[in-house]
A and B are shown apart, each in its own frame.
Chain A
Amino acid sequence: MPAVLLAVLISLPFWTPSRYWVSVAIQALILAVFAMSLDLLLGFGGMPSFGHAAFYGMGAYACGKLFPQLTGGGLLAFLAAGMAAGVIAALPIGALAVRARGIYFLMLTLAFAQMVWGLAFQWTSFTGGTEGMSGIPQAVPDWLQEQGQNVWPALRTAGPFYVVALTVAVLAFAGLTAITRSPFGRALEGIRENEGRMRALGYPTYRYRLAAFVIAAAFAGLAGATTALYNGYANPSQLYWHTSGLVLIAVIVGGTRSLLGAVLGAFFVTIVQLVISSYTEHWQLLLGAVFIAVVLFLPGGLISLGRLGWLRR
């Protein structure tokens, strides 16, 4: 299935009816990276974060705050800055948060994220307040820009940046897959299932959980940096609990404990939101109904549809 999805995504710019769908795919890919990072925490680590937007937003703000300095370093400098911002924020927050479990972990992460949001929203002199920071360059490498314009003249800047977003998403998928399949990933799942036993076996469970938290934050920061580059701004709404809620919902809708599920969920949420909201004023009603229907009829999320299909074959 990942191969099919990848093939569809790679070929998208060649058959899409308009460049709009490339823009949509870029947004969905960014949300996918963000959702996969949350799934490492939620699905594999059993840590339901309701404050993951903190690290996504930090990634975006790092680009916004540092873009005069980072521009010389190009794309990689921006992406690295986003990841670093995620890690720097996650170390103290994680050190305190991963002690808590379940609903308390959920609330603690919410508290920390809202704290960061409060600063971005009100501390105007440092963060730009409600208007945030704008004018961040896309930082697409020159060679890609030129090649992109030649290959997809109709796509304008969306084409080259699509390559960036897709590459980031594929690398994130590969990286997170490697992590979940490594001994570390297996230990993390062991801790989720039975922490006491893992501790008895000599695993430093606190450090494992903290490491998972920091890695997830790094990838969330990566997603945040990508969105800042693509849209050109960092803004408090990227840190607000709505954003944490959106990514949480993408993961649940897609299906937890599966990176592919997170990707599917991200695409589903992005497309459904965009499509519904331009056909009716009552997009909230329909979107709400869709979420309620998914809870009731697809307990395992969208990914369970795929599994059913696989079995039947």
Chain B
Amino acid sequence: MNGLVFAGLVFLLAAGLSVIFGVMDVLNLAHGSFYMLGAYAAFAVVSRTGSFWLALLLGPLTVGLIGAVMELVLFRRLYQRGHLAQVLLSFGFTLVFVDLVRSWFGPRTYGIAPPPGLGGAFHVAGANFTKYDVFILGVSLLVGAALLVGWRLLKVGAVLRAGVSDKEMVGLLGIDLGLVFTLTFAFGAALAGLGGVVAAPFVAIHPAMDDNVLILALVVVVLGGLGSIEGALAGSLLIGLAYSFGTFYLQEFSIAIVFALMAAVLVLRPRGLFGIRT
């Protein structure tokens, strides 16, 4: 259970990264910053209005908007220049965001309580988990299901999947790829923002919280296979469990185990667990 909840959080992050990565072939190191912005948005809204549910709405919207602007103004210019330019650009943004957050909120650590009704715990058959854990799990399953369905059934999914495999083809079909990319980037950012809001009552909110999760999300996406929602789900599960139970049973080697797992999958299945074979 404990590993599952963490896996759910990681999935929210990884899903957005995977969509951006898969559709647009953009390596966005600022994805962890989107998560951090979401968590701070949650804190700001909750501390002013007291409503977590409003935060759940506003947080992803704000972060999605920031993502849209970043894509329109900056990332757009770099698609021809490959991953290295994106690494540098998005790394620049991680620095900018962390500084802005520290300027606005100060260096201290914040925490917010779960919304009314979701505080407290269940004790079932010797297992302990909080009501909020169940909420996190519910949100991530819902998002996962919606993404899977959208990806498979809707036209959007078809366009995006085509985007993954053949960009020129989509362009020829008369679809505005520029708009698709902007929306994709905004959507991925919003998902990370959602992850941040959902995580806010679960973690300590502080200006360096983007750091660890970014690497975990990258691990998950690559493990699962770029642009694959099933992959992101499977990868999150694997990493969530490994990270939780690894630290539990293998104290001194827990971090190493997570990354060894990632390396092993990549060596055995270079395109990830659910990646498309080429």
Interface residues of chain A, those whose CB is within 8 Å of chain B, are: 42, 48, 96, 99-100, 102-104, 106-108, 110-112, 114-119, 121-125, 241, 245, 248-249, 252-253, 256, 282-285, 287-292, 294-296, 299
Contacts and interface: CB of A to CB of B under 8 A. Distances in A.
Contact of A111 (B83, B87, B88, B263): B263
A124 B252 contact: yes
A285 B267 contact: no
B111 to A, nearest CB: 24
Interface string B251-278: 1111111111011001100110000000
Contact of B270 (A104, A288, A291, A295): A104
A256 B215 CA distance: 25
Contacts of A296: 74, 77
A295 B89 contact: yes
- Which among B84, B100, B215 has the greatest number of chain A C-beta atoms within 10 A? B84
B96 A295 contact: no
6 contacts: A119-B255, A125-B252, A245-B87, A284-B102, A291-B95, A294-B88
A103 B99 contact: no
Ranked nearest first, the 8 interchain pairs of A and B with the lowest CB-CB distance are A118-B255, A288-B95, A291-B92, A118-B256, A288-B96, A285-B99, A115-B259, A284-B99
Contact of A115 (B27, B96, B260): B260
B81 A299 contact: yes
Contacts of A116: 256
B147 interface: no
Contact of B93 (A248, A288, A299): A288
B79 to A, nearest CB: 13
A256 B226 CA distance: 26
Contacts of A299: 81, 85
A-side interface mostly:
helix
Given A115-B260, A115-B263, A284-B96, A103 B253 contact: no
- Which among B102, B103, B256 has the greatest number of chain A C-beta atoms within 10 A? B256
- Which among A42, A106, A284 has the greatest number of chain B C-beta atoms within 10 A? A284
Contacts of A253: 88
B88 A295 contact: yes
Given A106-B83, A118-B258, A252-B88, A287 B95 contact: yes
Contacts of B78: 295
Contacts of A107: 218-219, 222, 262, 266
Contacts of A115: 255-256, 259-260, 263
B92 A289 contact: yes
Contacts of A289: 92, 96
A48 B88 CA distance: 13
A74 to B, nearest CB: 34
Interface string B49-75: 000000000000000000000000010
A245 B266 CA distance: 21
Contact of B256 (A100, A122, A248, A283): A122
Contact of A112 (B92, B94, B259): B259
A256 B84 contact: yes
B98 interface: yes
A122 B255 CA distance: 8
A2 to B, nearest CB: 24
A112 B255 contact: no
B91 interface: yes
A285 B81 contact: no
Contacts of B260: 111, 115
Contact of B92 (A42, A99, A295): A295
